[in-house]
Amino acid sequence: MPTISVQQDLLRHLLGQHGLTHDVEIMGDQLPLMGTDIDVCDDDTLDIEIFPDRPDLLSGETLAHALRPFLHGTQASPDMEVSQSGITVEVDARLSEVRPVILGAIVKGVEIHGGEEEIEGFIKSLMDHQEKLHFALGRGRKRASIGVHDMSALQAPFRVTAVPGSTEFTPLGETSPMTISAILEQHPKGIDYAHLLEGMESYPLILDASDAVLSFPPIINGRHTTVHHETKEFFIDVTGWDERACEAALMLVCLQLQERGGSVHSVEIKTCHGDIIHTPVGEGVVHHVPEELVVNLLGRSFSDEELQHAINRMGGRYNGKSMAPSDAPLKAEKMSQASAGKALLEFTMPRWRFDLLHPVDMVEELAIGHGYEDLGEDSPKAQLTAQPRDDHNMRRRLRESMQGLGLMQIQSLTLSNEHDQFHNMRWQSTHQVTSITNPITIDHTMLRQHLLPGLLRLLATNRHHELPQGVYELGSVVRDHRNTDRLAFIMAERSGGFASVRGRIQALCNDLGISSWHAEPLEANDGPWLAGRGAKLIINGEWVGCFGEIDPAVASLFELRVPLNGAELDVAALMNLVTDPV
């Protein structure tokens, strides 16, 4: 989770402008509800840990903006005051396949009171906020990247164009021009983020009216637009692939500058698709929440005054109730819907609240704003007397038997792959495989049908530990798209052999009260067993599993070089054959 360092003097100044006090003790008590927590506190600095779902709190200025209504009850403003600048940005149509989302804003009149040290601290916090937004909203600049420029060094209007790799400009941190190709190969930022433009034949470049380069997004700004101590007017550009993330990032940088006395002005953008838009949009986002959803989740209804108080603390505005539309279903099928004849609660929340995706998120906002300690009390209305599972006693007896043999229980991933499950283990797929439609790794392409491969992978990971090592797993596998339980154990020991594993099977059968069982030999290469050292376990004429020594050729595929023996049994078959003494 990201951590921000905020100067105590900055919070005192930002809160003091509104006649409010800065109380660290109250903050430490209340901040966890907002998704933050004070990590370190001294006389000068607060280190505050920000939970990932609150990227709107990643700077001292935006944090202070949220603190005022939450801690001090001031009137929240979910809208941002935005004036028109009259400045335009034209986007090249070719960028639709390169970096299609281009947004911008201008902030004027930013005044930093104090000396050089305070101004330098402000510039550092602005850059730090920018990088934290790159991480939290931009996903490493892929979804959104931000450029902040000194407006006095620029000439409007602006244009964003697609250029070849041979185009030259002087990037930030350099004194001589470099080609775009050279920047991607040699400049530190280019090396870090070149993968975002991999395979591109042309690259985005933001230019002003004199063809001076503002930025080469998402890599580096131009040198001549660098923010310095005399900068009072800022041009902010945000580019990327995720329009919502770009908008939130743009508005949060504007909000930070607005808290420093700046006034926000929109720019007119002709997008790569030919549309005309104005950014940023100052009006908040309206959310409709079914009142019955609030009551069902929080266990009580709220008066209009309580709703207004709760949502105001969270930076929003309660607009009142309305009835669900006439075409609403008699019984809501989704949590986001209201049933016919039921009330909808309407709230306006800041457009930069990127984390509000669903009415349930708004219910959580109400709970936090109102206070969890005052949601009332209730008693369970459902019957809470537990009903034992049919296989409870069998599973308990199996675990006790395995632990009595000195084996440690483990739980491996249910996801596996065809190579481990079948090819490496020399098993044939005799059941339908439940495959993952869109796997994110070649190691997790299906739901497992056997437990032993997972145990072998575990031993391979722990092969640097001393022998003996013994583990077992009592878990689910998926065969023919249905869950079934299996028991598997494996032992890595220098003196282990078929006699050892047969002794463990004998002990297991004794623990389960099985007096009559026998082993039948398996064919060579029928599973991972060493030829002549693998057997079927037969109880009352039924085949319930296999046991034996693991073939060294199989073990080597899992990078194991020690004698191994083990077994895998069908729990359902055991239940059908073994009498439950309880």
pLDDT in tens, 437-464: 888 888 899 999 999 999 999 999 888 8
Q: What is the dihedral of CA 529, 530, 532, 536, to 10 degrees?
A: -10
Flag the least confident range among 17-26, 78-87, 170-179, 420-429.
17-26
In a domain, 381, yes or no: no
Question: Within a domain: residue 309?
Answer: yes
Is residue 383 predicted with pLDDT exceeding 80?
A: no
Regarding whether 522 and 428 lie in a shared domain, the answer is: yes
Copy the structure tokens of residue 362: 């708004």
Tokens representing 450 are 């056997």
Report the pLDDT value the prediction gives residue 152, as an integer from 0 to 100.
92
At 366, is the secondary structure helix, strand, or coil? Answer: helix
Tens of pLDDT, residues 303-328:
999 999 999 999 999 999 998 887 78
Residues 269 and 314 in one domain: no
- Same domain, residue pair 466 and 557: yes
Q: Is the pLDDT of residue 582 over 70?
A: no
Q: Residues 118, 119, 124, 126: is their CA dihedral positive or negative?
A: positive
- Report CA-CA distances (Å) from 312 to 21, 255, 256, 317: 19, 18, 20, 6
200 exposed, middle or buried (CB, 10 Å; 0-12, 13-18, 19+)?
middle
Give me the mean pLDDT over the 552-581 stretch.
Answer: 88
The last residue of a domain, from among 50, 72, 94: 72
| Same domain, yes or no: 188 and 210 | yes
Q: What is the CATH number of the domain that holds 89?
A: 3.50.40.10
d(CA 497, CA 483): 32
Give the pLDDT score at 541. 87
| Same domain flag for 523 and 491 | yes
438 and 566 part of one domain: yes
Q: What does the radius of gyration of the chain's CA atoms come to, in whole angstroms?
A: 32
Quick check: is 180 in a domain? yes
pLDDT at 266: 96
In this predicted model, which residue has the larger pLDDT, 175 or 332? 175
| Mean of all residue pLDDT scores within the chain | 90
Distance CA 312, CA 300 (A): 19
Residue with more model confidence, 496 or 272: 272
Band of residue 176 on the pLDDT scale cut at 50, 70, 90 = very high
Per mean pLDDT, which range of 49-53, 368-372, 541-545, 566-570 is the poorest?
A: 49-53
On whether both 212 and 311 belong to a single domain, the answer is: no
- Give the DSSP letter of residue 84: E
Task: Flag whether 383 is in a domain.
Answer: no
Q: Domain of 292: which CATH number?
A: 3.30.56.10
- The encoded tokens of residue 506 equal 């004998």
C-beta neighbour count of 403 within 10 angstroms: 12
Count: domains in the chain: 4
Least Cα distance to 254 among 62, 389, 428, 394 occurs for 62
21-30, 134-143, 315-324, range with the lowest pLDDT? 21-30
In a domain, residue 386? The reply is: no
Q: What percent of the chain has pLDDT over 70?
A: 99
In a domain, 382, yes or no: no
Q: What percent of the residues of the chain are helix, what percent strand, and what percent coil, each to the nearest 5?
A: 35, 30, 40
The phi and psi torsions of 99 (rounded to 5 degrees) equal: -160, 90
Would 582 be classed as within a structural domain? no
* CA gap 10, 64 in Å, rounded: 9
Is 318 in contact with 384 (CB distance < 8 Å)?
no
Amino acid at 433: V
- Domain hosting 29: range is 3-72
Displacement of CA 305 from its chain's centroid (Å): 35
CATH number for the domain spanning 464: value is 3.30.930.10
Is the bond preceding residue 164 a cis peptide, omega within 30 degrees?
A: no
Same domain, 415 and 354: no
Detail the DSSP E strand segments found in 280-381. Answer: 285-290, 317-323, 343-349
- Say whether both 174 and 219 belong to one domain: yes
Tell me what pLDDT residue 324 has: 85
Q: Are residues 420 and 523 in the same domain?
A: yes
107 and 135 within one domain: yes
Query: Are 356 and 427 in the same domain?
Result: no
